[in-house]
């Protein structure tokens, strides 16, 4: 038999909670509701890692969270968005394109040079709850790497950044491994 009463709930609480949640029409959740629900089970996110070389130093793009963010106000994180139910109803049939478009429009405020390349999975245990992140490596089109809120940081010294959400380092390490492997493969292919 299944669970009849949610842990910590009183009789009747489940029915009230379910009744309220059934009103949802499929759109965006409020920050407060999303933060509460995301602690209940793993969420799936899409993170784009943007690297650049600066005097032989490999840098990664970090962006500040909004000042009114309920958990990490003003802290630095990677460009990323959660998958939404609406992303699975896209005409192009690719749910990942929803987060990519939101990242381009709302976060990096620039277009990607080409389709981001899948680098791997990052398992993050955050203050907002567990996240399974699909990590992609992307490049910005043209010379768009200097927006006013961009923070370019040494990819190998992220631990030193005090206002960085530390779980983001997991995703950067996934991307670094993929990035370095592709450079190594390219170097082997370039040999005569």
pLDDT in tens, 38-60: 888 899 999 999 999 888 999 99
Span 13-190: which CATH code?
3.90.79.10
Estimate to the nearest angstrom the gap between the alpha carbon of 22 and the chain centroid: 27
List of residues 6+ apart from 177 with CB closer than 8 A = 119, 120
List of residues 6+ apart from 1 with CB closer than 8 A = none
pTM, to two decimals? 0.86
State the distance between the two ends of the chain, measured CA to CA, in whole angstroms.
Answer: 66
Rounded distance, CA 43 to CA 73, Å? 20
Stretches where the chain sits below pLDDT 70 are 1, 143-145, 184-192
Q: Which of 51, 106, 56, 58 is nearest to 81 (CA)?
A: 106
Burial of 181 (0-12, 13-18, 19+ CB in 10 A): exposed
């Amino acid at each position: 038999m299944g669970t009849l009463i949610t842990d910590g709930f009183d009789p009747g609480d489940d029915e009230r909670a379910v009744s309220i949640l059934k009103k949802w029409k499929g759109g965006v959740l409020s920050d407060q509701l999303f933060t509460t629900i995301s602690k209940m089970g793993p969420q799936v996110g899409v993170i784009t890692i943007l690297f650049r070389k600066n005097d032989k130093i490999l840098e990664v793009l970090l962006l500040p969270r909004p000042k009114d963010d309920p958990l990490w106000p003003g802290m630095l994180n990677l460009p990323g968005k959660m998958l939404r139910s609406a992303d699975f109803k896209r005409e192009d049939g690719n749910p990942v394109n929803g987060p990519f478009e939101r990242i381009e429009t709302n976060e990096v405020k620039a277009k990607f040079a080409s389709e981001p390349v899948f680098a791997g999975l990052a398992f993050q245990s955050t203050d907002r709850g567990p996240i399974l992140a699909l990590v992609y490596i992307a490049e910005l089109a043209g010379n768009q790497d200097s927006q006013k809120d961009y923070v370019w940081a040494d990819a190998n010294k992220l631990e030193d950044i005090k206002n960085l959400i530390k779980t983001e380092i997991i995703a950067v390490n996934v991307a670094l491994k993929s990035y370095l492997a592709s450079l190594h493969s390219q170097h082997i292919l370039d040999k005569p």
